Structure 1
Amino acid sequence: MTSSGASSGAGSTAGDARLGRRVIALFRPYRGRLALIGVAILVTAGLGIVNPFLTQAVFDDALFAPGGADLGLLGVLVAAMVVIALVSGLIGVGQTYLTTVVGNRVMQDLRDRLFAHLQRMHLGFFTSTKTGVIQSRLDNDVSGVQSVVTETASSILGNVVTVVASVVAMLALSWQLSIVAFVLMPVFVLLQIRVGRVRRRVAASTQASLSDMSAITQESLSVSGVLLAKVFGRQEHEVDRYRAENARQTDLQVRQTMTGQSFFAVVQAFFAITPAAVYLVAGYVGTGTGGALLSAGTLVAFTTLQSRLLFPAVQLLRVSLDVQTSLALFGRIFAYLDLVPAITDPPGARTVTKEQARGAVELRDVWFRYPPSEEDEAPDGTAAERAPVWALQDLSLRIEPGQLAAVVGPSGAGKTSLSYLVPRLYDVDRGSVRLDDIDVRELTLPSLAAIIGMVTQDTYLFHATIAENLRYAAPDATDAQLEAAARAANIHDRITTFEAGYDTVVGERGYRLSGGEKQRLAIARVILADPRVLILDEATSALDTVSERLVQHALESVMSGRTTIAIAHRLSTVLAADVIFALDGGRLVEHGTHAELLARGGLYAKLYAEQFGGGAVEARCADGVRFRDGEVIRQERPSEVA
């Protein structure tokens, strides 16, 4: 038991030391400014120690000199005290400015570094982690250490210098009185260490609660969350959920604030009582047999130094607690920075441009399963023992350049998983995914992003204008290029009906637009990106018949001349495919053209019969809208924007 505890304590100390070194490393780019701050602190602390000795001289050599008051010397001493105060004030202003700048620059660097690292994390990290928790780590945790980073370094150095200088000066004035003043300091240091450990645990719990609150806020106050709560009448449930976590957060904040307050009350009481004890001892020291007599100036100077010692000593104890509290937050921040992205460029990765790519896509003997999420872990934090669930199993297929390939199958067949592997949003567990006979893991990620475009069912639009959303794919696109892409996506005429045109703000996630309008904007965005390979993942499954026909018409433009992989539940979207791949249980069960697969009477024929009953698919698709020479005759109903 003892050995284990000692080992644990040693491990904790070593961990804190490593964490401390990482925190200190954040300040390395600002060594020059830190040096200036250090010089300013040393000068200010040194000047502060001079004043008590000037006070001693005022009493012993000027006011109560053996030959009477020396007013000339008194004037010089007072002038020196005034000059020191003014110089110290000016240096303090400059020191505060430099400290504030360095501290905030360090926090800026930390936020930038954390955000950039999160951008490099693989898709699986975000699908298994609540968005609110990630936001809390970036906002609350970083903000929680800001004051420590901004003020603590200079505070520690300044207070240490002041304390050391004061202690040396007090010993020089009277070692007997110094013993009285310092007798309980070791006890206070030990108590401070114990209080700090408690506050560190409470701080970690407080930040975890803040993460939960952020997750609740992000989920329930988003447009989708509010809509869901209203539809099911669950507003009160959401309020109760937030209220419960808010109450927990309040309790933790109170505990964090009150932890150690009794300790500080004892420390302050000790420092307040000590002058009385000093006066008592001074009487005995000054009159005792063989005792060194203390002058009035010495006693005043000593008590002045002692009062100067009170504030920095208490501050050092408080800062030490703040540092231990902040270590819990830094630990959470560095835990994210230490996460290793699962998808990265290998050494010597190749760069292939869109112009060089032909667009052939092949999967060779692919096995793939999704990585476990936090919910899949066992209670002891290890991965739960269970048989692997393969999303794709022994899958091989090839799509030639320029082909339109449709991937169909029942829900859970692995269609979307296949679409994630081609642009390397996930990596295969076995086998390989190849682009133009090159393993996608050998290509740089920017190359893949430029070559492969994707339109998903859940179209994401920023709370920005239509033009800004389109330019996300091509920041340098001209207005003419935006209009050309919008025309190709069959959405330009709709945009011109809005009062602000391309400057119309679409709302969060595009909620001011209809489903068909959002999809056509997403298609226009892909057209601007001009990918060589296009992936359509359920691009029309959530649309009504009219919107689907409009989107299909827009897709004809974007698919022309590109290798296209269309993932679909609605078989009406794949009738014109050059090749159809039918998946079931993550395996390829058949492939061929529409006519071939119908004649074969397999899975595809079954899906076709279940969805259409053998009826006229084309008639059903065209229901509700007509085209003449490529122009829409009957438009969909106006959306909220209009």
Structure 2
Amino acid sequence: MIEPFRGPLADDRMDADGEYSELAEKHVSLRRIAALFRPYAGRLALVLGLIVFSSIAGVASPFLLRAIIDQALPARDLGLLAILAGGLIAIAVVATVVGVVQVAMTSKIGQWIMHDLRVRVYGHLQSLSLGFFTTARTGEVQSRIASDIGGLQALVTHSASELTRNISMVVVTIAAMLALEWRLALFSFLVLPLAIWISHYVGRLREELTYEQQQRIADMASAVQESLSVSGIILARTMGRTAHLTRKFIRSSENVAALEVRSHTAGQWQWAIIGLVLQALPALTLLLGGLLMNPGAGGVTIGTLVAMIALQEQLLWPLEEVLESGVEMRTTRALFARIFDYLDRPVEIREREDAVTPDPATTRGAVCLRDVGFAYDKDGPRTIDGVSIDIPAGSHTAIVGATGSGKTTLGYLLARLYDVDTGSITYDGVDVRALSFRALSDMLGVVAQDPYLFNATIADNLRFAQPEASDDALIVAARAAQIHEMIVALPEGYDTMVGERGYRFSGGEKQRLALARTILRNPRVLLLDEATSALDPATERAMADALDILGKTRTTITIAHRLSTVRHADQIIVMQRGRVVERGTHAVLMGLGGVYAGLVHSTD
């Protein structure tokens, strides 16, 4: 199954290796990883103390064993034998208790660290500008939060403490072996350079493979998220492309499987060599011990030889664990690279330390744009260029223009989803960049053309805007948005589940639910971005009446393509190629016979 994909994977890996090396070098350092553990330094110090105590207690066993063989058994001293045997049992009990406590503590610390990291990544992503999310794949974002951080679980809950414990055991055991018989100890250490080199080699291979594997998993997650959404299912079935998407997913899954196999088998022969040498070491030590065993001074006793073999066993298994942990930690470096890559994305929209929060009771809702300029690509042409608009408090301003004229981008700037490159946007005389995020969200309510609804009840979706809103408040907002009668006609009323992205409702119903949600917050400025585009003529007229009533107490900015919705606006701003080319009332603009009149005639 995997064989057909060796070629493409090999080609892709050449690109992935270069990308990964650059990414890891830029974002990952030992100091940065250690910083994740710093808040729990006290608890980690206690764990380290338990590990060292357990290691020291563990190396006492071979010395007790030597005393049993060389002293208690030859002398038939049952009392000494009982004491020494009891010591062995006591060491085992202590090691067991310490091990249980250590595992419990490291598991808790590890989960706290993972929780902190997940929250940091999620919070940082929430602070990024809209530009990041227009290019990032949702499945990729989900993969980095769930799969990549989840892949670190073994490191923070098990591997780190096991590595520390095994290193402590190796160091203490090496000291004990040198103290027991230095010649046999040095002979045993000959395997170390080879084992360390192989571990480094295998770790580097698996690190690169892990990065590529996580990339493929993210690709697969994105494919699942896109193709198995409601929109994806509708598109695939109406286009007759379900079989194509299934084949595409099979290829993606096979690539992941191929990388999984390569990751687990990389360096397998090298590890086999280490295993062979480690298995042969006790036999070679017995042979050397036999040569050094003589009745004269400095000879190796049977007890010493047996104790040395025991210490070897006590050295070799933690040494092997250390080497394997080193490989595992090298692979987790690839996960850290992907996670830190997100954390290092610059936050373009920031709240100032001295941000202004005006008193809601005194806000009027006057909006002013002065010589606003903006470009998505800072090296490219401007999407908005030199736009100046005065929007008095309580007035209704419509922004119209052909597709690509920049009107939706202007809405993004008003909501501070992007910051202007030049000029300024002010609310009641305060620059939008000087307002606190909370003040801006309280002042400005936005209803988009494609409103987003959570897969929750209607009431929960409405209360997303005002969590403490009463049932009566929900009804008032729903009536204002001309949606209450439809809601109460449902069997479960306001407790009806809306389904994923609200697909249980029509486009017009979703728009009215989104409008009700915004009305519930009672903002002073209402920004409607094609918010009535999905309404039938009768509902549109009812919505227009509702908005007229709402507009008497707030400022309304309508971004519209359907010009029938803006004929009665106090002023109409006509945009073309990012500039304001006309402004005035419907009657004035029609009298000019210019761009606006042409748009009206083209839509009639």
* Counterpart-to-counterpart distance in 1, 2:548 and 2:366: 20
Contact between 1:206 and 1:249, CA under 8 Å: does it hold in 2? Answer: yes
* Counterpart-to-counterpart distance in 1, 2:150 and 2:543: 45
More displaced stretch, 566-575 vs 344-353: 344-353
Contact between 1:124 and 1:371, CA under 8 Å: does it hold in 2? Answer: no
Determine what percentage of the aligned residue pairs are the same residue. Answer: 45
Where 1:417 maps in the other structure, the secondary structure is: helix
Q: Does 1:22 align with 2:32?
A: yes
More displaced stretch, 602-611 vs 348-357: 348-357
Compare the two structures and name the one with the higher helix fraction: 2
Amino acid at match of 1:430: T
* Counterpart-to-counterpart distance in 2, 1:579 and 1:241: 52
Q: Give the aligned partner of residue 8 of structure 2.
A: none
More displaced stretch, 14-23 vs 158-167: 14-23
- Residue 338 of structure 1, CA deviation: 1.2
TM-aligned CA distance change 1:12 to 1:554, over 3 Å: closer
Amino acid at match of 1:108: H
* Counterpart-to-counterpart distance in 1, 2:569 and 2:396: 5
Where 1:525 maps in the other structure, the secondary structure is: helix
Contact between 2:397 and 2:572, CA under 8 Å: does it hold in 1? Answer: yes
Amino acid at match of 2:340: F
Q: Does 1:223 align with 2:215?
A: no
Q: Give the aligned partner of residue 595 of structure 1.
A: 587
* Counterpart-to-counterpart distance in 2, 1:179 and 1:17: 40
* Counterpart-to-counterpart distance in 2, 1:315 and 1:43: 19
Q: Does 1:134 align with 2:141?
A: yes
More displaced stretch, 589-598 vs 14-23: 14-23
TM-aligned CA distance change 1:12 to 1:136, over 3 Å: closer
* Counterpart-to-counterpart distance in 2, 1:51 and 1:13: 47
Where 2:132 maps in the other structure, the secondary structure is: helix
* Counterpart-to-counterpart distance in 2, 1:361 and 1:396: 11
Amino acid at match of 1:522: A
- Residue 17 of structure 1, CA deviation: 11
Q: Give the aligned partner of residue 577 of structure 1.
A: 569
Of 427, 430, 444, the match for 1:435: 427
Of 21, 37, 42, the match for 2:47: 37
Query: Could you list the runs of 5+ residues in structure 2 that have no partner in the other structure?
Result: 1-17
Residue correspondence of structure 1 range 103-142 to structure 2 within 5 A: 103-142=110-149
* Counterpart-to-counterpart distance in 2, 1:560 and 1:84: 82
Which runs of structure 1 show a deviation greater than 6 angstroms over 4 or more consecutive aligned residues?
Answer: 11-14
* Counterpart-to-counterpart distance in 2, 1:131 and 1:553: 38
- Residue 266 of structure 1, CA deviation: 1.3
* Counterpart-to-counterpart distance in 2, 1:104 and 1:519: 41
Deviations 1:95-119 (A, max 9, x none): 0000100001100110011101111
Q: Does 1:48 align with 2:58?
A: yes
- Residue 349 of structure 1, CA deviation: 2.2
Of 220, 235, 260, the match for 2:267: 260
Q: Give the aligned partner of residue 498 of structure 1.
A: 490
Of 367, 371, 381, the match for 1:365: 371
* Counterpart-to-counterpart distance in 1, 2:543 and 2:510: 10
Contact between 1:473 and 1:526, CA under 8 Å: does it hold in 2? Answer: yes
* Counterpart-to-counterpart distance in 2, 1:538 and 1:80: 81
Where 2:423 maps in the other structure, the secondary structure is: strand
Aligned residues: 585
Residue correspondence of structure 1 range 256-405 to structure 2 within 5 A: 256-287=263-294, 292-371=298-377, 388-405=380-397
RMSD: 1.9
What TM-score do the two structures reach when normalised by structure 2?
Answer: 0.94
Deviations 1:487-540 (A, max 9, x none): 221211211111111111110111111222211111111111111111000112
Q: Give the aligned partner of residue 171 of structure 1.
A: 178
Amino acid at match of 1:284: L
* Counterpart-to-counterpart distance in 1, 2:242 and 2:546: 39
* Counterpart-to-counterpart distance in 2, 1:277 and 1:146: 40
TM-aligned CA distance change 1:227 to 1:550, over 3 Å: farther
* Counterpart-to-counterpart distance in 2, 1:14 and 1:483: 54
Deviations 1:175-229 (A, max 9, x none): 1211221112112212222222221111111111111111111111111111111
- Residue 477 of structure 1, CA deviation: 0.5
TM-aligned CA distance change 1:452 to 1:114, over 3 Å: same
TM-aligned CA distance change 1:14 to 1:396, over 3 Å: closer
Of 457, 462, 480, the match for 2:454: 462
What TM-score do the two structures reach when normalised by structure 1?
Answer: 0.88
Residue correspondence of structure 1 range 179-218 to structure 2 within 5 A: 179-218=186-225
- Residue 297 of structure 1, CA deviation: 1.1
- Residue 261 of structure 1, CA deviation: 2.1
Amino acid at match of 1:149: V
Amino acid at match of 2:499: G
Q: Does 1:564 align with 2:570?
A: no
